[in-house]
Chain A
Amino acid sequence: MKKKNIRLIALLVALLMSVAFIASCSNSNNGSQTTGTTDADDSTETGDILIGVLSPTSGSEAYYGRDMLQSYQLAVEEINAAGGVLGRNLALYHADDACDPNTASQAAARIVTSDVDFVVGGYCSGATISALQQFYDEDLLMLISAANSTNITALGLEQTFMLNGTADHGAAMVAQLCEFLGSTKVALIHQGDAYTQNLSDTCERVLPESGLEIVTVEVMEQGSADVSAIVTAVLYSGADFVYWCGYHADGSNVIKQLRQGGYTGEIAVGDGSASVELIEACGPAGEGVYVTSPPYVGFTEGGEDFIADYNEMFGMEPGTYATLCYDTIYILKEAIEAAGTLETSAVRDAIAAIEYDGLSGFTKFTANRELAISNFIVIQIVDGEFVLISF
């Protein structure tokens, strides 16, 4: 009797756990067709042009992933309302990469098997890199809106384009900012993953060329709460400028503890932390922090209409990568129209030759398929809001 009871309860517990597990999996991993009602199957010939979207909508970077997806949706709806592309409507198929290389590889498999025509997205470089090979194998063209590690370029995939400024552009901005502020001793902190380490390495290489001294390079594990030891190391190094190369959730921790530990020099954060969430997360410690940012919509020309439309459609403010994502869809549209076909090689050549003046600035690609002219801006947190800094 007793043994049976035990088995029954154990079975019950196991069942409960598997239900919770499956529920969480289906919540975070399933792809979903978000715009347009057409089934994926009949999109190949005459139906919708199906665009796969790879972005993190769960995990610590979910805010950016959602913002990216919504910006694509806005552009797609506008284009469809104006008659579509080559007489066909656009539709999106979204898969969540959770900013994690393993999840990204599964997401890429779902996108590939959904018979999409093109892929856009890419926020975390590590996750994006892990997905790219599958797209390449299927001869799918990908426009990467946000991820910008030079490691992506290094893969040499000829139908992959990066719309965001690269780490080189970011590092150049840091050098200018240091000169503007009169800082000379730079401490770099990264998180040891593809994007943050790449940015840190690039700064380490580029900044000394501008006469700046790199006094220390620190690594903060993702998700570790305590950075007091790093803070002390930074204080001891005599740095007067700290550049955080990581993402905003951990970045707020670093900024708070730097201030808490008595650091009084300048703090700047990279594009991975460029989000209004950083302001909330840092609280008063965030005042005066500089951000080397992608073309944030509040500070670009012609952004007012976009903000209004976005607000109306989603009931929230557009985020950091909204302009780049919005432009991504329009660049794809222009390239398809120029090519007159959905053929990957023809569209690729059209994109390689494109010169597009959009919301995020002027887009043109180098022979390496990177953004040719930097679109970075510097903003600063002043009284709990971002303010554009020009120098």
Chain B
Amino acid sequence: MFSIWELILQQLVNGLILGSFYALVALGYSMVYGIIKLLNFAHGDIYMTGAFVCLSVFAALGNIVSGWTGIILSILVAMLISGILGYIVQRVAYRPLLGAPRLSLLITAIGVSLVIYNTVMVMTNSQPMFFTSGLDNAAGIRIGSILITYIQLVLLAMSGVFMLALNFFIGRTMAGKAMRAIALDQDTSRLMGINVNRVIGMTFVLGSSLAAVAGGMACVYYGNVQYNMGYTIGIKAFTSAVIGGIGSIPGAMLGGILLGLLEAMGTQFLGSQWKDVFAFGLLILILIFRPNGLLGKTEIERM
């Protein structure tokens, strides 16, 4: 039986898992916004595509490799394909509009989202697909009444590794430096000899691959893959990015995990029908006191 503290700890674990999904997706939103000030609404659909690719590859690999090797391989392939998809979307739909007003870019993003969503809907005939990894989903570590499954541990570790790697990439490499430079001032960066288009393309590839990691993980963890799975998480991840301070990488991680935790606690203590009201109510409060998000920088408009 649960004691109240075990209950809170278990809900913390639940929230952490959910939050790391949000965070991985939120990173893509935040990176793209940071660089070209675009809210990439197609990001949730790229997440969904990643989940489908992961499922298909795993099924295709079924006879050769299975278990964790198969899962890791499938997620890698999903990252690759989603990365390519993200690049194509950027090249075809966004790059020609980089000079156009922001609003045109935003509407294009909504259009791209609809195209991917509807294409997958038609391709899958709106049917959910089910993923069976053959792993024991309930096996795990038990501390008192608290249960942390091995799958949860692996997922947490994976999202942690990817987030740290991204942080290192942006903070410590030349390519990352170029991304930061473009975020500050595109024209000056171009004058400094940075290939702006290539860096923007790379940003989309990175963001989309991270969304595919989240999609692949969702596929393994939840087992259901459906054409509309990207919608809710897209909204939640966008919210996380805004809470953390859109454009800020650590902010996106923080925002995602915070939202996951708030939802889990809201479900436990106010009832599941109130969890969104609770989570979003608190988020509004945060935004009132910190309009740029928790880790967002105050923007100074230069004339």
CB pair B119–A20 under 8 Å, yes or no, is yes
Closest chain A residue to B276, Cβ basis? A221
Q: Chain B's nearest CB lies how many Å from the CB of A57?
A: 9
Residues of B within 8 A of A259 (CB): 137-138
A226 touching B18, Cβ below 8 Å:
yes
Residues of A within 8 A of B97 (CB): 6, 10
Known contacts A20-B118, A221-B232; A228 and B18 CB within 8 A of each other: yes
> Which of B56-64, B188-196, B217-225, B295-303 binds A?
B217-225
Find chain B residues with CB under 8 A from A27 CB: 122
Whole-angstrom distance between the Cβ of A62 and the nearest chain B Cβ: 5
Beta-carbon nearest neighbor of A62 in chain B: B126
Q: Shortest beta-carbon distance, A99 to chain B, in Å?
A: 10
Check if A232 is an interface residue, CB within 8 A of chain B. Answer: yes
The CA of A224 and the CA of B222, in the complex, are separated in Å by 10
Taking a contact as CB atoms closer than 8 A, the residue among A23, A224, A283 that contacts B122 in the complex is: A23
Provide the bound-state CA to CA distance between A226 and B111, in Å: 28
Contact B114 A17 (CB under 8 A): yes
B252-280 interface code vs A (CB 8 A; 1 in, 0 out):
00000000000110011001110110000
A233 to B264, CA, bound (A): 9
Main secondary structure of the interface of B (DSSP, over half): helix
Query: CA A192 – CA B277 in complex, angstroms?
Result: 15
Establish whether residues A281 and B100, one from each chain, have CB atoms under 8 Å apart when the complex forms: no
Q: Summarize A's interface: helix, strand, loop or mixed.
A: helix
Residues of B within 8 A of A24 (CB): 118-119, 121-122
Give Cα A13 to B92, complex, Å.
8
Q: Are B96 and A225 in contact (CB under 8 A)?
A: no
Determine if B84 is an interface residue (Cβ-Cβ < 8 Å).
Answer: no
A27 to B122, CA, bound (A): 8
In the complex, which residues of chain B have a beta carbon less than 8 angstroms from the beta carbon of A261? Answer: 138, 147
A249 proximal to B (CB < 8 A): yes
Q: Is the CB of A229 within 8 A of B218?
A: no
- Within 8 Å by CB of B268, from A20, A217, A229, A253, lies A229
Q: How far is the CA of A20 from the CA of B114 in the complex (A)?
A: 9
* Residues of A271-307 contacting chain B, CB below 8 A: 280-281, 283, 285
Task: For residue B108, give the distance in angstroms from its CB to the closest CB of chain A.
Answer: 7
A contact residues, range: 35 or more
- Partner of A59 from the list B18, B99, B126 (CB cut-off 8 Å) is B126
A21 touches B126 (CB 8 A): no
| A388 proximal to B (CB < 8 A) | no
Is A344 on the interface with B (CB-CB < 8 A)? Answer: no
Does A262 make an interface contact (CB < 8 A)? yes
Q: How far is the CA of A221 from the CA of B236 in the complex (A)?
A: 13
Query: Are A14 and B222 in touch, CB under 8 angstroms?
Result: no
Query: How far is B2's CA from A238's CA once the two chains are assembled, in angstroms?
Result: 9
- A78-101 CB contacts (< 8 Å) to partner B: none
| Assembly CA distance A251 to B13 (angstroms) | 22
In the complex, whether A220 has a CB less than 8 A from a CB of chain B is: yes
Q: Is B132 positioned at the interface, with any CB of A under 8 Å from its CB?
A: yes
Q: Are A62's CB and B127's CB within 8 A? A: yes
User: Quick check: B229 and A223 within 8 Å, CB to CB?
Assistant: yes
Within 8 Å of chain B (Cβ to Cβ): is A9? yes
- B106-142 interface with A by 8 A CB criterion: 108, 111-112, 114-115, 118-119, 121-122, 125-128, 130, 132, 137-138
Question: Which of A23, A62, A257 contacts B125, CB < 8 Å?
Answer: A62
Contact indicator B128/A232 (Cβ below 8 Å)? no
Residues of A within 8 A of B96 (CB): 5-6, 9-10, 13
In the complex, which of the residues A60, A226, A252 contacts B130, with contact meaning CB atoms closer than 8 Å?
Answer: A252
Docked complex Cα distance between A13 and B107 (Å): 12
Q: Which of B17, B125, B126, B130 has most A Cβ within 10 Å?
A: B126
On A, residues with C-beta under 8 Å from B are 5-6, 9-10, 13-14, 16-17, 20-21, 23-24, 27-28, 58-60, 62-63, 192, 217-221, 223-226, 228-233, 235-236, 238, 249, 252-253, 256-257, 259-262, 280-281, 283, 285
23 pairs, CB–CB < 8 Å, chain A vs chain B: A9-B96, A10-B108, A13-B108, A24-B118, A24-B119, A192-B273, A219-B271, A221-B232, A223-B226, A223-B231, A223-B232, A225-B233, A226-B21, A229-B272, A229-B275, A230-B267, A232-B14, A233-B267, A236-B268, A238-B1, A257-B222, A260-B138, A285-B137
Would you list the 10 A-B pairs with minimal beta carbon distance, nearest first? A229-B267, A24-B118, A228-B14, A229-B264, A219-B273, A9-B96, A225-B222, A218-B272, A17-B111, A219-B272
